[in-house]
């Protein structure tokens, strides 16, 4: 037993060396068993169930052994069946090998019979060639006469008969070549070039017939529109011939794909594709004769209208006549639509490259964007179902349309600039007229300038809107630029007009100078309303066609209005100037002159200001009021009247109050009073001068500075000098208080003393006494 164990023990390492997986599996199994046992029997009381676990594991092991035995038995049965099949196959192969060996021996014995078969093959080839020659002799003799007959049929346009004869000739030629090719293949060779040249010589007229027939055929197709209205029979014959050729092409291609005959020379002809190509060339021929000179100016619109009618007439002919002459799969109407569209694209590209004027560009854009796609043309309900227009694409690309629109705007801009220049020249001539400007139904002065400009811009915008909103915006944008340029030139003209008037104010030509200034202001207000209306029509604030900043005509309008108002005020000052030196003098204190004369001048001016459209009417009235007060205070600052007593101060203050009342009566018609009424300054200055107690001047100056924070020490010093009773101490106290309490100017406050310069004081020469020191 020990020997047996040793033997078994000695075989184990050998088995493990042969099958190392067995040893690894056994180790894994032992490890798993130990792990399971350590988990189940972790306590002594668990050992009571050991017999149960042992019995269950023995049953499981027996079940596994049974399944393994049945599996191994089925594998062994399959291997036995396979071995039996291999034995049967080996026996069959042995029998086949013996049979092939016997056949080989018999074939080697029959080599002598091949020589006699070779002679028989040669005789057969010769017989076949002779038979082919004899059978084709009638055809060969008839070729010349058939060619001449076919030529006569082609010339007389009996196309169907000519094509039938041509098909016979081609079939004879193909049969002869195929027979020669078959004979050469049977003889173990290929068709020689001599045979090919001989056949080509016999059938030399066939190729010319094909060309002649094709020429006549395409002539019929190219004139199909005219033939359809007279006699569509030739066109029907041409379509039938095209269909025959297409069927022949398909049959020959099928034979070639099946390993049969090779394709004859010139096949496939693809006459259906040629049919549509000739049709497109016939359509394009209508546009080739158009020249640049014949379509200039108004002729271009007429040419496009003629194109519309011609295309629609041709389409009606195709749909109602030609469509019934072709098979449905031709879709002739759709083909004609595509051909017409491509030809129109080419033609309009040529037209767009010309140097066109604005009217011509408008005609092209309107035709391309609106007429072509309208129900009168391609948008016709019966044509929409024939073809999807999205497949055609636009007549002119988006870039081309943008270029045309840009050219249109530039052309219109040139015209608008010229018209505005002429309108400005007419305006300058109107300023020299010896009569008042025209008045509208409301009594406001005006000239023809704003009406011309407004109508021109609105008409251009209306015409551009007929093309599209984009072109309308670009046209308005261009118009706003030109209005801005016009207003800048207009302002410069106003400046020159004012200089010319100042050089010679008494010139009779300038008798209505002020009236035309006021008319210019009203014109600017009218232009402002028109400009705002145009800006509201725009969809986009700024178009990319201009490389500079957006136009700002309203700013130019404001500059022109301010310049005109300044010239009006200069004219008012010029007319007031003769009476201003008499203000605040001794004669004025006694007699009250010249304030009534000043009021008379102001009243005449204010009456004229009423002929100006609001809001500039109120602005002029306010400026006149402001100017009068400034000149009044400026006269006071000149110290032409220095009071010597309290009675003179009372008289001075009283006269200033009377002047204030007169001026208020003149300006009582102001529709809206300004936030700071300049006339309120005169009573304040009168109270300052009338004050009896000089000690109260500090408080009075404090109130004056609070109301008018722009008053300076020089202004207060002059007022103190006019009083004539202010001591040096009070003066220093007042001026020191003013210097310390100088408040900043509030927002929206319009300075009044800033515009009034205090004349420099002139010190009298005196000896250096102790008092002066």
Query: Mean per-residue pLDDT for 420-425?
Result: 94
Pair 308, 199 in one domain:
no
User: Tell me, what's the pLDDT at 429?
Assistant: 92
What pLDDT score does 234 carry?
86
**Looking at the 3D structure of the chain, how many domains does it have?**
5
Average pLDDT over residues 661-681: 77
Same domain, 249 and 280: no
> Does one domain contain both 425 and 367?
no
Quickly state the pLDDT bin for 11 (edges 50, 70, 90): very low
Q: Which residues pair with 445 in a beta bridge?
A: 439
Could you give the CA distance from residue 557 to residue 550 in angstroms, rounded to a whole number?
15
The CATH code of the domain that includes 512 is 1.10.357.50
Q: Is residue 759 classed as helix, strand or coil in its secondary structure?
A: coil
pLDDT digits (tens, 9 = 90+) for 54-94: 888 888 888 888 988 888 888 888 888 988 899 899 899 98
Q: Which of 81-85, 304-308, 379-383 has the lowest mean pLDDT?
A: 379-383
Residue 772 lies inside a defined structural domain of this protein: no
pLDDT digit string, tens, across residues 179-197? 665 554 444 445 556 656 6
417 within domain boundaries:
yes
Which residue's structure tokens are 């003769």? 578
Q: Please tell me whether residues 377 and 478 are part of one structural domain.
A: no
Domain closes at, from 396, 412, 429: 396
| Distance, CA of 71 to CA of 91 (rounded, Å) | 31
pLDDT number for residue 496 = 93
Distance of alpha carbon 306 from alpha carbon 574, whole angstroms: 68
The reply to whether 450 falls in a domain is yes
Of 514, 538, 569, which one is at a domain's C-terminal end? Answer: 569
pLDDT at 580 over 80: yes
- Looking at the structure, tell me whether residues 499 and 409 fall in a common domain: yes
pLDDT at 168 over 80: no
Task: Tell me the percentage of the chain whose pLDDT exceeds 70.
Answer: 83
* Average pLDDT of the chain, as a whole number: 82
Domain that holds residue 716: 691-743
Lowest mean pLDDT among 11-20, 304-313, 553-562, 711-720: 11-20
Please say if the pLDDT value at position 625 is more than 60.
yes
Domain contains 117: no
Angle at Cα 712 formed by Cα 708 and Cα 714, nearest 5°? 135
What is the per-residue pLDDT for 614? 87
What Cα–Cα distance (Å) separates residue 195 from each residue in 17, 115, 133, 141, 200? Answer: 83, 29, 12, 17, 9
The string of DSSP codes covering 45-79 is GGGGGHHHHHHHHHHHHHHHHHHHHHHHHHHHHHH
Specify the pLDDT at position 46.
73
- Specify if 159 maps to a domain: yes
- Which of these ranges, 106-115, 216-225, 524-533, has the smallest mean pLDDT? 106-115
Q: What is the pLDDT of residue 772?
A: 41
More confident site: 193 or 417: 417
Question: 563 and 465, same structural domain?
Answer: yes
- Mean pLDDT throughout 594-623? 92
Whether the pTM exceeds 0.85: the reply is: no
Choose one of 373, 396, 419: the last residue of a domain.
396
- pLDDT of 767 higher than 60: no
Q: For residue 714, give every residue at least 6 positions away whose Cβ sits within 8 Å of its Cβ, in sequence order, or none.
A: 758
Q: Are residues 465 and 494 in the same domain?
A: yes
Range of lowest pLDDT (54-58, 196-200, 248-252, 577-581): 196-200
Is the confidence at residue 667, as pLDDT, over 80? yes
- Are the C-beta atoms of residues 692 and 725 closer than 8 Å to each other? no
**Pair of tokens at residue 180:** 């020669």
Spatial distance between the Cα atoms of 408 and 471, rounded to a whole number of angstroms: 9
Residues 413 and 552 placed together within one structural domain of the fold: yes
What average pLDDT does range 502-525 have in this prediction?
86
What does the DSSP assignment read for 633-692? HHHHHTTS----SHHHHHHHHHHHHHHHHHHHHHGGG-SS--SS-GGGHHHHHHHHHH-S
Whether 421 is in a domain gets the answer: yes
Determine the average pLDDT of the residues in 575-604. Answer: 90
Residue 633 in domain: no
Output the pLDDT for position 563. 95
Strand 445-446 relative to strand 438-439: parallel, antiparallel, unpaired?
antiparallel
What does the pLDDT look like over 474-496, one tens digit per residue? 999 999 999 999 999 999 999 99
Check whether residue 316 and residue 459 sit in a common domain: no
- Assess whether 449 and 321 both reside in one domain: no
Angle between helices 398-431 and 358-366 (to 10 degrees): 140
- Residue 39 included in any domain: yes
206-218 tens-digit pLDDT: 777 888 888 888 8
Lowest mean pLDDT of 106-120, 570-584, 627-641, name the range. 106-120
- The predicted structure's pLDDT at residue 193: 63
User: Do 362 and 221 fall within a single domain?
Assistant: no
Average pLDDT over residues 210-231: 84
Residue 14, pLDDT above cutoff 60: no
CB 613 within 8 A of CB 526: yes
135-139, 397-401, 458-462, 543-547: segment of lowest average pLDDT:
543-547
Least confident interval from 164-173, 590-599, 752-761: 164-173
Same domain assignment for residues 479 and 555: yes
């Amino acid at each position: 037993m020990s020997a047996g164990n040793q033997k078994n023990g000695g075989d184990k390492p050998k088995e493990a060396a042969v099958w190392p997986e067995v040893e690894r599996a056994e180790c894994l199994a032992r490890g798993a068993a130990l792990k399971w046992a350590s988990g189940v029997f972790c306590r002594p009381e668990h050992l009571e169930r050991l017999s149960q676990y042992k019995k269950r594991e023995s049953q499981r092991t027996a079940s596994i052994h049974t399944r393994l035995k049945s599996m191994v038995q089925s594998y062994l049965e399959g291997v036995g069946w396979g071995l039996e099949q291999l034995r049967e196959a080996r026996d069959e192969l042995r029998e086949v090998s013996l049979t092939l060996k016997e056949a080989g021996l018999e074939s080697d014995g029959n080599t002598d019979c091949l020589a006699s078969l070779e002679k028989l093959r040669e005789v057969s080839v010769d017989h076949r060639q002779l038979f082919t020659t004899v059978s084709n002799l009638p055809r060969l003799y008839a070729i010349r006469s058939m060619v001449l007959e076919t030529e006569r049929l082609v010339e007389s346009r009996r196309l169907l008969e000519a094509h039938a004869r041509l098909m016979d000739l081609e079939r004879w030629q193909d049969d002869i070549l195929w027979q020669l090719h078959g004979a050469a293949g049977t003889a173990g060779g290929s068709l020689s070039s001599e045979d090919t040249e001989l056949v080509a010589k016999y059938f030399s007229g066939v190729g010319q017939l094909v060309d002649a027939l094709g020429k006549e055929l395409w002539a019929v197709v190219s004139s199909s529109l005219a033939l359809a209205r007279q006699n569509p029979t030739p066109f029907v014959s041409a379509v039938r011939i095209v269909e025959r050729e297409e069927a022949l092409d398909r049959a020959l291609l099928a034979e070639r794909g099946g390993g049969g005959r090779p394709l004859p020379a010139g096949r496939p002809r693809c006459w259906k594709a040629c049919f549509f190509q000739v049709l497109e060339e016939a359509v394009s021929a209508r546009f080739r004769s158009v020249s640049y000179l014949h379509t200039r100016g108004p002729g271009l619109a007429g040419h496009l209208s003629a194109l519309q009618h011609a295309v629609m007439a041709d389409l009606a002919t195709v749909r109602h006549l030609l469509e019934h002459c072709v098979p449905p799969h031709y879709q002739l109407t759709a083909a004609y639509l595509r051909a017409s569209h491509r030809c129109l694209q080419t033609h309009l590209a040529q037209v767009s490259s010309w140097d066109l004027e604005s009217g011509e560009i408008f005609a092209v854009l309107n035709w391309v964007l609106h007429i072509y796609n309208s129900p009168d043309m391609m948008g016709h309900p019966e044509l929409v179902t024939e073809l999807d227009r999205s497949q055609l694409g636009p007549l002119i690309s988006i870039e081309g349309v943008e270029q045309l629109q840009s050219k249109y705007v530039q052309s219109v801009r040139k015209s608008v600039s010229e018209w505005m220049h002429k309108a400005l020249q007419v305006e300058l001539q109107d300023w020299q007229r010896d009569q008042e400007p025209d008045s509208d139904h409301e009594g406001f002065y005006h000239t023809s300038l704003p009406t011309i400009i407004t109508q021109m811009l609105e008409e251009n915008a209306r015409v551009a809107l007929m093309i599209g909103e984009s072109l309308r915006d670009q046209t308005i944008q261009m118009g706003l630029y030109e209005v801005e340029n016009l207003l800048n030139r207009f302002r410069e003209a106003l400046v020159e007009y004012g200089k010319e008037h100042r050089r010679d104010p008494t010139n009779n030509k300038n008798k209505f100078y002020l009236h035309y200034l006021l008319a210019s202001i009203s014109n600017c207000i009218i232009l402002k309303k028109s400009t705002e209306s145009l800006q509201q029509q725009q969809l986009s604030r700024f178009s990319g066609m201009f490389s500079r900043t957006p136009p700002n005509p309203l700013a130019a309008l404001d500059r022109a209005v301010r310049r005109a108002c300044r010239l009006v005020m200069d004219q008012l000052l010029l007319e007031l100037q003769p009476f201003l030196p008499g203000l605040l003098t001794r004669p004025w204190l006694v007699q009250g002159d010249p304030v009534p004369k000043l009021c008379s001048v102001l009243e005449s001016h204010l009456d004229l200001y009423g002929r100006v459209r609001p809001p500039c009417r109120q602005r002029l009235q306010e400026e006149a009021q402001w100017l009068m007060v400034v000149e009044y205070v400026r006269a006071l600052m000149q110290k032409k009247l220095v009071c010597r007593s309290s009675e003179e101060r009372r008289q001075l203050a009283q006269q200033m109050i009377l002047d204030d009342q007169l001026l208020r009566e003149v300006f009582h018609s102001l529709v809206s009073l300004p936030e700071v009424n300049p006339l309120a300054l005169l009573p304040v200055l009168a109270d300052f001068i009338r004050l009896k107690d000089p000690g109260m001047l500090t408080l009075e100056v404090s109130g004056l500075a609070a109301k008018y924070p722009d008053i300076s020490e020089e202004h207060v010093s002059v007022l103190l000098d006019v009083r004539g009773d202010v001591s040096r101490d009070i003066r220093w106290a007042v001026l020191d208080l003013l210097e310390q309490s100088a408040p900043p100017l509030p927002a929206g406050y319009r300075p009044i003393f800033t515009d009034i310069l205090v004349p420099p004081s002139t010190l009298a020469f005196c000896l250096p006494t102790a008092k002066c020191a």
